[in-house]
Amino acid sequence: MSIYLDCNATTPIEPEVVEKINNYLTKDFGNEGSHTHEFGSIAKKAVQEARDNIGSLIDASRNEIIFTSGATESNNIAILGLKDFGEKNNKKHIITTSIEHKAVLEPIEELKKIGFDVDILNVDKSGRINPKDLKDKLKKDTLLVSVMSVNNETGLIQPIKEICDLIKDNECFFHVDAAQGFGKDIETLKNKRIDLMSISGHKIYGPKGIGALITRLRNFNKPPLKPLFFGGGQEAKLRPGTLPVHLIVGLGIAAKIARKDHKKRSDKNKKIFDQIMKLMKDLKGELNGDEKYLLGNCINFSIPNVDAEAFMLTTKDLISVSNGSACTSSTYEPSHVIKSMTNDDNRIRGAIRVSWCHLTNDKIPINELIERLKNII
């Protein structure tokens, strides 16, 4: 089987996480909302421990963590949930970027359809926005600024700290889609100026189908979100439905391990990073973005005159890579992220995303890959 190098799409799951999930599927399977017996008490305690494990990574308290089905749902709640507040208080201006995940851009587009004013910031060839551009767009009626922490296609870190400093005197809410940064860019995401943060279990070696929305208190008040659907009082009445305790436990354990093993994981990722950079350079590839802003577990590059589909077909028995976001790969459209960085059609069509993790087999057949790919260059 080929070596899996598509961890930004989904990560392998930690063995300890699998073990804990199985326990809460087969033994401690109680409903967290059941208060009349031991099974419910055990489940409730497990959920609270998961909140604590997640909170310790981002300096958040239990009551600031709302469990969801994943970052897509968290993004939708964070954005669409502010609609009523924005309309009531005549704050209908939103700022975001051209490289956000569709789970951010499409909800914002829905608000634009009903009269919200939207500014979309472009990135430069480094793959990052210029904080000055954001400053120039800020208004008194700005409701929301939404900027991802790490781009899912390029692995480039956005200037979150600079944005936090820039908006400190503005009352707007700051939302960060941290699906790719949570558990990896740890210190940045502890910034208290981030009001809303979306995270996902299957990006940090946890299970699919679980995530969270962090709703930080500001002056002892939570962001004024309204639920998108109804039918129960779970998760502070913001996200009703029976809690999937086994998945929540899995996310919590994944967060706990991420904090404990952060340095060890970074060291392993650096070894693989060096191998992939050698592959790119030997093939005279061009990095999409500026290397100094990379998180260290993903690069996106283009090889002159080599189409991404040809690259993947030629190497599919050796490595498993992608040409963009897994959420949009079925459409076969050019990446909106790479298009934001360059107008070179060949570079856009040739863009390859390679992403890895500490669980990746580091014996990547670089020399064999180079020999094969030279045949199509």
Pair (125, 204) in one structural domain: yes
Q: Can you give the pLDDT at residue 260?
A: 97
Mean pLDDT of 12-25: 98
Question: pLDDT digits over 203-247, tens only?
Answer: 999 999 999 999 999 999 999 999 999 988 899 889 999 999 999
Instruction: Domain count for the chain, please give it.
Output: 2
Pair (177, 188) in one structural domain: yes
pLDDT band for position 155 (cuts 50, 70, 90): very high
Question: pLDDT digits over 281-333, tens only?
Answer: 999 999 999 999 999 999 999 999 899 999 999 999 999 999 975 555 555 57
Pair (195, 330) in one structural domain: no
Q: Can you give the pLDDT at residue 331?
A: 54
**179-204: string of b/e by CB count within 10 Å (b at 16+)?**
bbbbbbbbebbebebbbbbbbbbbbb
- Distance from the Cα of residue 190 to its chain's centroid: 15
Q: Can you give the pLDDT at residue 225?
A: 98
Selected catalytic residue, list 164, 298, 327, 357: 327
Domain limits at 248?
15-260
Pair (194, 219) in one structural domain: yes
Mean pLDDT of 177-184: 98
CA-nearest of 150, 222, 154, 152 to 189 is 150
Q: What is the mean pLDDT of the chain?
A: 95
HSE-up (13 A, CA, CB side) for residue 19: 4
Question: pLDDT digits over 238-278, tens only?
Answer: 999 999 999 999 999 999 999 999 999 999 999 999 999 99
Pair (207, 67) in one structural domain: yes
Pair (154, 143) in one structural domain: yes
Q: Can you give the pLDDT at residue 237?
A: 86
Indicate if the pLDDT at residue 1 is higher than 70: yes
Mean pLDDT of 141-158: 98
Pair (325, 250) in one structural domain: no
Pair (106, 225) in one structural domain: yes
The Cα–Cα gap between 91 and 140 comes to: 8
Indicate if the pLDDT at residue 201 is higher than 80: yes
**Residue 175's domain is classified under what CATH number?**
3.40.640.10
Q: Can you give the pLDDT at residue 328?
A: 54
Indicate if the pLDDT at residue 76 is higher than 90: yes
The Cα–Cα gap between 203 and 200 comes to: 6
Mean pLDDT of 328-349: 83
Pair (188, 317) in one structural domain: no
Mean pLDDT of 106-134: 97
**Residue 297's domain is classified under what CATH number?**
3.90.1150.10
pTM of the model: 0.95
pLDDT band for position 162 (cuts 50, 70, 90): very high
Pair (198, 288) in one structural domain: no
Q: Which helix (H) or strand (E) holds 119?
A: strand 117-121
327 catalytic? Reply is: yes
The Cα–Cα gap between 28 and 42 comes to: 7
Q: Which of 260, 294, 311 is the last residue of a domain?
A: 260
